[in-house]
């Protein structure tokens, strides 16, 4: 009546108990049902003498009363014995009912796991087929007077079946399972998030070091910004251009948090409270291009010039770099004029865009190390250290990364 599982061992005693509880015909207990172990078996026949009936004399009222008491006691004992047996039977039924529920639950779980496993296997097989099978190109011989959405008639193929290309396979994928493109997008998002966290973690290290020991750096008038600064400014540059200025040429829409960067109130854990131009001359920030390449940016406010440190110049064409830098060339001077402390100071600034350059004589990096090199460019330039070809050799990329990871952890 129960499912058979692997490595099941026949248990006659347990089956007898089950038969007692669930088989229609009652099953009687006997001494043969239990194996006798550790005791001495009595092989001598047991003589049972017949029970003697108690005789009560009719002429004595006291023995009759005593007999009634004994009969009542025996009846109560029998009732108690029956009640005890019923309690035991009820307890056994309840215990076996719980066992049945557990077995049913486990069976359902096993079935669900098997279905899930089969679904995953079918999905993996579908991915493999999609990756390997490529259907033949469909000829584009469609008459001019036939609409584009009407399929063209395919002429009968007179070649042998051996010359025909194999037909593409039709694979039905589970909607709940991720496809190859979904997994690739998820991996890309994970790598992007991981790289962003590492980039900002090192910028935070530089902020802390500069705040604790500014004398080690080449100037006391500098600041370090995280990747969100460049990301927000590039993303919202279109809104800045499309917004209409006032009669003074001001009033354009800036990205969110522009004033906080300008006044040095972010990040909260390491506020410098230094204002651009008034207290800050040099700004360092990492810039991400197309979620695949990192460059470093040094903005010199007094020189009205931006220097781009690019470890792999072939990753960004000059035209693409012009688009990337346009937002900073126009919005930085505009912010300086817009946020000037007074109307008397404002004429000292100009709305003319900054200029920029990308040096090509810096040590290059190999693919995958652009983020590490961009951060090291920022660190070395802020400390006044030249970019040594020996220190920035391509084989040193891993050791640089490991050292930065240790510093971030500490």
Q: What pLDDT was estimated at residue 256? A: 85
Cα angle: 233, vertex 262, 370; to 5 degrees: 50
Q: What pLDDT was estimated at residue 138? A: 43
- CB contact at 8 A, 110 and 118: no
Q: What pLDDT was estimated at residue 161? A: 45
> Residue 234 and residue 289: Cα distance in Å, rounded?
10
Which pLDDT tens digits describe the chain residue by residue (410 residues)?
Answer: 445 555 556 677 777 776 666 665 665 666 666 666 655 656 666 565 655 555 545 555 555 555 566 666 666 677 666 667 777 777 777 777 777 777 776 777 677 766 666 666 666 655 555 555 545 444 444 444 444 444 444 444 444 444 444 454 444 444 455 454 554 555 445 444 445 578 888 899 999 999 899 999 999 999 999 999 999 999 999 999 899 888 777 888 988 889 999 999 987 778 889 999 899 999 999 999 998 999 999 999 999 999 999 999 999 999 999 999 999 999 999 999 988 877 777 767 788 999 999 999 999 999 889 999 999 999 999 999 999 888 898 888 888 888 888 888 76
Cα angle: 162, vertex 163, 169; to 5 degrees: 80
Q: What pLDDT was estimated at residue 248? A: 78
Q: Domain-by-domain residue ranges, the chain?
A: 1-30+69-128, 188-409
Structure tokens at 210: 């500069």
What are the CA-CA distances from residue 294 to residues 56, 100, 252, 372, 374 (Å)? 114, 62, 29, 9, 6
Q: What pLDDT was estimated at residue 132? A: 53
Closest CA to 298 of 280, 319, 323: 280
Q: What pLDDT was estimated at residue 126? A: 57
Q: What pLDDT was estimated at residue 46? A: 59
SS3 124: helix
> Residue 351 and residue 353: Cα distance in Å, rounded?
6
With 0.85 as the threshold, say if the pTM is over it.
no
CB atoms within 10 A of CB 365: 24
The yes/no answer on whether domain 188-409 falls in CATH 3.90.1150.10 is no
Residue 299: beta bridge partners? 283, 306
Q: What pLDDT was estimated at residue 295? A: 95
SS3 302: coil
């Amino acid at each position: 009546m129960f499912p058979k599982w692997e490595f099941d061992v026949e248990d006659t005693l347990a089956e007898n108990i089950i038969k007692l509880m669930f088989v229609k015909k009652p099953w009687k207990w006997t001494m043969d049902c239990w194996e006798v172990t550790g005791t001495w078996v009595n092989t001598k026949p047991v003589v049972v003498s017949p029970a003697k009936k108690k005789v009560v004399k009719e002429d004595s009222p006291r023995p009759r009363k005593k007999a009634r008491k004994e009969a009542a006691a025996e009846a109560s004992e029998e009732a108690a014995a029956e009640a005890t047996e019923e309690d035991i039977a009820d307890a056994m039924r309840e215990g076996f009912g719980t066992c049945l529920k557990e077995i049913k639950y486990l069976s359902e779980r096993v079935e669900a796991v098997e279905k899930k496993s089969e679904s995953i296997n079918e999905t993996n097989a579908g991915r493999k087929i999609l990756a390997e099978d490529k259907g033949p190109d469909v000829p584009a011989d469609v008459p001019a007077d036939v609409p584009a959405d009407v399929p063209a008639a395919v002429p009968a193929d007179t070649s042998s079946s051996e010359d025909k290309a194999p037909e593409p396979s039709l694979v039905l994928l589970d909607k709940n399972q991720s496809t190859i493109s979904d997994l690739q997008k998820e991996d890309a998002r994970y790598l992007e998030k991981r790289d962003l966290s590492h980039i900002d973690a090192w910028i935070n290290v530089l902020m802390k070091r500069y705040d604790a020991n500014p004398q080690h750096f080449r100037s006391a008038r500098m600041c370090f910004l995280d990747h969100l600064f460049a990301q927000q400014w590039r993303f919202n540059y279109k809104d800045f251009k499309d917004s209409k200025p006032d009669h003074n040429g001001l009033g354009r829409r800036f990205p969110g948090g522009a004033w906080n960067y300008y006044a040095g109130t972010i990040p909260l854990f390491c506020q410098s409270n230094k204002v651009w131009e008034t207290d800050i001359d040099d700004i360092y920030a990492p810039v991400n291009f197309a979620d695949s390449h990192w460059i470093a940016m040094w903005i010199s406010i007094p020189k009205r010039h931006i220097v781009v440190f690019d470890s792999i110049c072939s990753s960004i064409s000059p035209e693409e770099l012009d688009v990337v830098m346009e937002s900073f060339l126009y919005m930085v001077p505009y912010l300086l004029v817009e946020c000037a402390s007074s109307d008397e100071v404002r004429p000292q600034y100009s709305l003319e865009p900054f200029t920029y350059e990308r040096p090509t004589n810096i040590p290059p990096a190999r693919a995958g190390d652009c983020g590490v090199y961009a951060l090291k460019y920022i660190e070395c330039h802020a400390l006044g250290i030249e970019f040594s070809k020996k220190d920035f050799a391509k084989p040193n990329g891993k050791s640089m990364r490991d050292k930065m990871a240790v510093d971030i952890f500490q």
